[in-house]
Amino acid sequence: MTVTLDSPKAIHAQLGRDVVDQAVALEQISVALYKHLQHIKVGNIMLIGNSGTGKTTIMRSIERLFSEHGAAIGHQNTIRLNANIVSNDESTDLESSVILARLAQNAHKLMGSSPNVDQFRDLIENAVVFLDEVDKIRAYVGDKPNPRGILAQESLLTLIEGEGVSLPLSVRNEQGGFDQHKVPIDTGRILFICGGAFEGLYDMVYRRVAGGETRDKLIQEYVVTESQEDMEQKIHFSLNDYVRYEDMFEYGMTPQFLGRFDEVIVLNDLTIKGLMRIFVDPPNSLFREARRYFASLGIELQASKEAVQRIAEHAYDNHRLGARALRMVFKRIMRGIEFDPHDHYLVKQAGEKKVLLLTRDLVDRYF
């Protein structure tokens, strides 16, 4: 089947294969990526989400999308950096900044042995730059200024605003030698996607809303209790419903820097069903890794749907850890079993093979 990227919906369908429980966020991201592919001016994107909600997965999915599909020719130059690298960058001029240096390095690899000026320019200007942990470059922490964070935001702002720079390129000439070029680059065409957990932002916004400092009222919802006989009132608080740019400023992102992001997207906390998918489906999922391990011992690992659901439920109880909570929960269950599965009387002979079955009772035994 031929995969096209000729609409936001087509891009959304591709990203949705990898990213769980973030359909609305992916809609906004897909529109931005489509505009970028069509050379239509697009604002940059800021992703806010608890650890393990999928920020890095989204970035990796976009990288793979642009590198694997012919429809993205000329846009394959994607780099992913930790924002701390930017804050530690001691370059004295923009041309030698770590971001442009990495983009130029990638462009050379993509062009191979036959570089040309136009291709080089396109690969830089059509690039996507992912900056992770951008919340670590706050302008201040508490009441104290953070000089490195301030400098990093100012440096990024200059790049994101659209600065004209010239980058060097050597092109082989007909005589077998090399001509040196200074290639003009408009950095304003580069798409920046920044992400961070913004730890403390959730609590800060909740205090503002719950404290009655504004007219906002917490959304109330009613749920049926286990007895099914009465209703229990719960407060439903979603950061996405209440966060404002002013909260981001108070957190330590400068208005000038944040003003360069058209989309500030708050990722959902993962649902139990989403955690179940993450636990089982991906090629490198925890469950598939465990199956490979036990297969090396001559044992086939199986899991009931109820067991998978219980693992996801225990992980959901630690929702601020997102998908990372799955590993914590699963390791707690499997630690002794991995060492000696036979000692736990868990391995059953099924014909010619040995089977280790994870059940709900087994999961609950460790909680």
CATH number of the domain where residue 181 is located = 3.40.50.300
Residues 261 and 276 in one domain: no
Predicted pLDDT at 83: 87
Residues 186 and 79 in one domain: yes
Within 13 Å, how many C-alpha atoms sit on residue 10's CB side? Answer: 13
Residues 299 and 163 in one domain: no
Predicted pLDDT at 348: 72
Q: Which residues contact 268 (CB under 8 A, 6 or more apart)?
A: 21, 22, 24, 25, 49, 53, 240
Q: Please report whether residue 220 resides in a domain.
A: no
Residues 145 and 26 in one domain: yes
Residues 178 and 39 in one domain: yes
Predicted pLDDT at 104: 93
Q: Please report whether residue 85 resides in a domain.
A: yes
Could you report the per-residue pLDDT of 101-115, keeping only the tens digit for each?
999 999 999 888 788
* pLDDT classification of 139: cutoffs 50, 70, 90: confident
Residues 51 and 21 in one domain: yes
Q: Please report whether residue 135 resides in a domain.
A: yes
Task: Tokens for 130, please give them.
Answer: 């992912």
Residue that the structure tokens 């239509």 belong to: 40
Q: For a pLDDT cut of 70, what percent of the chain falls above it?
A: 88
Predicted pLDDT at 229: 54
Q: Please report whether residue 276 resides in a domain.
A: yes
Average pLDDT over residues 207-225: 61
Average pLDDT over residues 272-301: 92
Average pLDDT over residues 300-306: 93
Indicate the number of domains in the chain.
2
Predicted pLDDT at 5: 83
Predicted pLDDT at 210: 80
Residues 44 and 23 in one domain: yes
Q: Please report whether residue 2 resides in a domain.
A: no
Predicted pLDDT at 29: 94
Average pLDDT over residues 49-67: 88
Which of 8-22, 83-97, 289-303 bottoms out in mean pLDDT, i.e. has the lowest?
83-97
Residues 173 and 52 in one domain: yes
Which of 8-12, 20-24, 84-88 bottoms out in mean pLDDT, i.e. has the lowest?
84-88
- How far is the C-alpha of 77 from the C-alpha of 190, rounded, in Å? 10
Q: What residues does 194 pair with on adjacent strands?
A: 46, 131
Average pLDDT over residues 76-81: 91
Could you report the per-residue pLDDT of 183-194, keeping only the tens digit for each?
999 998 999 999
* pLDDT classification of 163: cutoffs 50, 70, 90: confident
* pLDDT classification of 71: cutoffs 50, 70, 90: low
Query: The CATH number of the domain where 360 resides is what?
Result: 1.10.8.60
Which is higher by pLDDT, 266 or 68?
266
Residues 136 and 249 in one domain: yes
pLDDT of 346 higher than 70:
no
Residue that the structure tokens 């058209």 belong to: 262
- How far is the C-alpha of 108 from the C-alpha of 172, rounded, in Å? 13
Residues 259 and 326 in one domain: no
CB 205 within 8 A of CB 239: yes
- Exposed, middle or buried: residue 109 (CB in 10 Å: 0-12, 13-18, 19+)? exposed
Give the closest residue to 192 by CA, choosing from 146, 150, 245, 153: 153
Predicted pLDDT at 105: 92
Q: What is the DSSP string of 69-111?
A: -GGGTT---EEEEEHHHHHT---SSGGG-HHHHHHHHHHHHHH
| Residue that finishes a domain, picked among 246, 266, 286 | 266
Q: Please report whether residue 224 resides in a domain.
A: no
Q: Please report whether residue 306 resides in a domain.
A: yes
Residues 191 and 279 in one domain: no
State the chain's mean pLDDT as an integer: 84
pLDDT of 231 higher than 60:
no
Predicted pLDDT at 317: 85
Predicted pLDDT at 94: 73
Q: Please report whether residue 294 resides in a domain.
A: yes
Q: What residues does 15 pair with on adjacent strands?
A: none
Average pLDDT over residues 261-279: 89
Predicted pLDDT at 223: 46
Residues 312 and 183 in one domain: no
> What's the domain range around 99?
8-203+237-266
Average pLDDT over residues 31-39: 93
